[in-house]
Amino acid sequence: MKVKELMDTKFLRIYPDYTAKKTIELMYRKKRYSTAVLDNEDKLIGWVMSIDLALIDDKTKKIEEIMHPLEDVITLHENDPARDAVVKIVEYKVMSIPVLNNEGKVVGMVRNCDITKTLAKLYDIPVYNLFKTFEKELKGITWDELMEAAAVVTKHTTGEDISAKEYEKRIENTTFGQALWACGGLEKFFAGLIKIGEIAIARRVAKVR
């Protein structure tokens, strides 16, 4: 996943000749606590936060007199890995980060709430869909063989004697998030998935012989 898949493209545009008063009104209306300052070509030239504006007595002051300079602004590129957005928001403790394209123009904004929403969507993915994708990647392994291997792995890891059909029924009503909790984390979930693939392939090879 790339940063451009996380970012909000309907971001607030603030220009250096805007007054503090106008900017406060726009930020309040759009519920933004920080925002990029752009030039006429939408290139990033600075950054302004609501706390900066709250400390200004003269609300007729121009944003160019208040904004943080470009060299102090944390940025992302639209083709950066989405992981970079998470790391930077945590590392620099910021609410949002402007996203640039190859021309240095601001094309979006990644906010911490955008990351949370994306993670929530990932957690809601049905495990059944993940297995269907896994089946395609294994090429040649049938769905029934995959379910049989999954039942074998379940018995090995939990001691539960479950049939392939029972396993299939179970994953139809399970989300990725629920599976992670049940398995004890991301690493264990994918380790189990790999094991299922290995057993499915081994059983297929044994049949051919």
User: Residue with structure tokens 């049949």?
Assistant: 207
Long-range contacts for 183-188 (Cβ within 8 Å, ≥24 apart)?
A: none
Cα–Cα distance, 144 to 141 (Å, whole number): 8
- Residue by residue, pLDDT tens for the chain (209 residues) are 788 988 888 889 999 999 999 999 999 998 888 899 999 999 999 999 988 898 889 999 999 999 999 999 999 999 999 889 888 887 888 888 999 999 989 999 988 777 777 767 777 888 999 899 888 888 889 999 999 999 999 988 888 899 999 999 999 989 888 888 888 877 888 888 889 999 988 888 777 55
Name every residue whose Cβ is closer than 8 Å to that of residue 157 and which is 6 or more positions away in sequence. Answer: 192
**Domain segments of the chain as ranges:** 3-121, 124-208
Residue-level pLDDT at 209: 57
Please list the residues that pair with 31 across neighbouring strands: none
Domain 3-121 fold: CBS-domain (3.10.580)
User: Residue with structure tokens 């996380």?
Assistant: 6
| Residue 141 to residues 126, 129, 194, 195, 198, Cα–Cα distance (Å) | 21, 16, 14, 14, 11
Q: Tell me the two tokens of residue 113.
A: 């709430």
Residue-level pLDDT at 114: 72
Cα–Cα distance, 143 to 164 (Å, whole number): 10
Helix, strand, coil percentages (3-state) for the chain, rounded to 5, are: 55, 15, 25
